[in-house]
Amino acid sequence: MDKLPYTGLAKTYNTDRQVPDSAATATAFLSGVKANYGTVGVDQTLPRFQCEGLEQAKVPSIFKWSQDEGKNTGLVTSTRITHATPSVAYAHAGDRYWENDKAATGSCPDIARQLIENEVGKNLKVVLGGGRSYFTPKTLVDPEVNTTFGRRSDGRNLIEEWKQVQQNMSRRAEYVWNKEQFEAVNPQNVDYLLGMFAPVHLDFELDREETMSQPSLKDLTAKALDILKKDNKGYFLMVEGGRIDHAHHDGNAKRSLADGAIFDEAIGYAIDNTDQSDTLIIVTADHSHTFTIGGYPSRGNDLFGFNDYYHPDSNATDNMPYTTLAYANGPGYVLNQTTGMRQDLTNVDTSNKEFLQQTAVPTNSESHGGEDVAVMAHGPMSHLFTGVYEQNYIAHTMAYASCVGANKEHCNSVPTTEAPCKPTGAGHSIKPSLMTVLSCILSISLSQGTKFKGI
């Protein structure tokens, strides 16, 4: 991802918090408005946890804008598909945790229901991730984990309802829940694919590698692209490496970085299997974490090991070793009850995947960070992502680049400047496609013959 030629910085704060959450940040980069902490697909007029006023506060996402122009849409995530970031694609909620009927408040529909009932949700061509227990009744045992049951109290099986909806619309649709079924899917024979490979989230990559029971994020990305780009309608795909965030919350740097590595492989696959002349790829994060690297370690020193630079100014004043990687807060704070000092790590294997990095402040879960996040891009209109800007600018710029939403009219104009992808032919007629990645990849591809106007 760091080889992409255009770079910018996005400001991630929510309208009511200096440090954001993933639901409101997703609302910013997918719907183009800043929102309150913990809210999904609504503007700042709706306070968190409130159901009344939801209808008036709803804001559409770029998934709807793309569908309105006849484009294929899909989402891929390593979290449950009702989680904060993916839910903004198709849902609107006063609280990100209204994921099933047991959690939802008042008359507001839960997020899982909205995937099945909302027009945007039912028209998503690819939905791949985890979270199948949020779609099934509490009396139904999970097909893979026999100690886990569904979470719905209304008795509905939304997976079966999704199948029926697709059948009623005479669509070539398939639902899969394990790796074997997933690998058997032929993209040429399937137009709508729903896959949920765990009751809740997918495994961390280091754990997945041990069992190989779930497809990797790269595998999911490849299948999604094969389905979405097989016709000339164009597409918008979002791929989220959401478990990167979860490992950080656990204070577990090794698992987080491993998930970051497979995320980078997914980006690499997308770069290698799309055309830069018609595909805009954006890589960014929805927010930061309190994760840090410090201590002046030498080049080549074990990243998961101790700082190896010994100097009075950088040595720990308690004369104990400290790791290169650390967090400002989180569950890795361990106090020696006898000495009242931090844990001595001398004989601890800090490279073990279960090790939690030490922190300055003890919290049950490490928090997000509030600094700006990088945005990297290549392809048509990628130059628009340079500089420093509000996070909601991303949604509007994606829409402009892909000729959807309020920005679509410019595509009917004669271009005044050459687009960065250097298209050929009269009127710079090209088929731009956008793939943006946050802890995810988003991908948009426009129909052939679209007129592209530079700015």
Instruction: Give catalytic residue positions.
Output: 22
Q: How many residues does the chain have?
A: 455
Which amino acid is present at 155?
G
- In sequence order, the β-bridge partners of residue 450 are 430
- Of the candidates 428, 431, 423, 435, the residue with the CA atom closest to the CA atom of residue 394: 435
Alpha-carbon distances, residue 383 vs 9, 325, 387 (angstroms): 13, 33, 9
Alpha-carbon distances, residue 207 vs 143, 203, 333, 354, 357 (angstroms): 20, 6, 24, 11, 18
Q: Is 201 annotated as a binding residue?
A: no
Encoded tokens for 19: 């440090």
Q: Is 287 annotated as a binding residue?
A: yes
Find how far residue 66's CA is from the centre of its chain: 18
- In sequence order, the β-bridge partners of residue 73 are 236
Q: Which H/E stretch holds residue 262?
A: helix 253-272
What span, in angstroms and rounded, lies between the C-alpha atoms of 447 and 167? 27
Task: Confirm if 92 and 42 have CB atoms less than 8 A apart.
Answer: yes
Alpha-carbon distances, residue 231 vs 41, 69, 187, 188, 226 (angstroms): 29, 14, 11, 10, 10
- In sequence order, the β-bridge partners of residue 238 are 75, 442
Q: In 10 A of CB 276, how many CB atoms? A: 17
Q: Is 209 annotated as a binding residue?
A: no
Close Cβ partners of 71 (under 8 Å, ≥ 6 residues apart) = 233, 234, 235, 236, 402, 404, 444, 445, 446, 447
Task: Confirm if 173 and 191 have CB atoms less than 8 A apart.
Answer: yes
Q: Is 69 annotated as a binding residue?
A: no
- Of the candidates 58, 85, 62, the residue with the CA atom closest to the CA atom of residue 73: 62
C-alpha triplet 381, 385, 388: angle, nearest 5°:
155
Q: Is 396 annotated as a binding residue?
A: no
Q: Is 83 annotated as a binding residue?
A: yes
Which amino acid is present at 384?
L
Q: In 10 A of CB 16, how many CB atoms? A: 16
383-410: string of b/e by CB count within 10 Å (b at 16+)? bbbeeebebbbbbbbbbbbbbbbebbee
Enumerate the known binding-site residues for Zn(2+): 245, 249, 286-287, 368
- Please report, in range form, the residues annotated as the binding site: 83, 85, 240, 245, 249, 286-287, 368
Annotated binding site for Mg(2+): 83, 85, 240
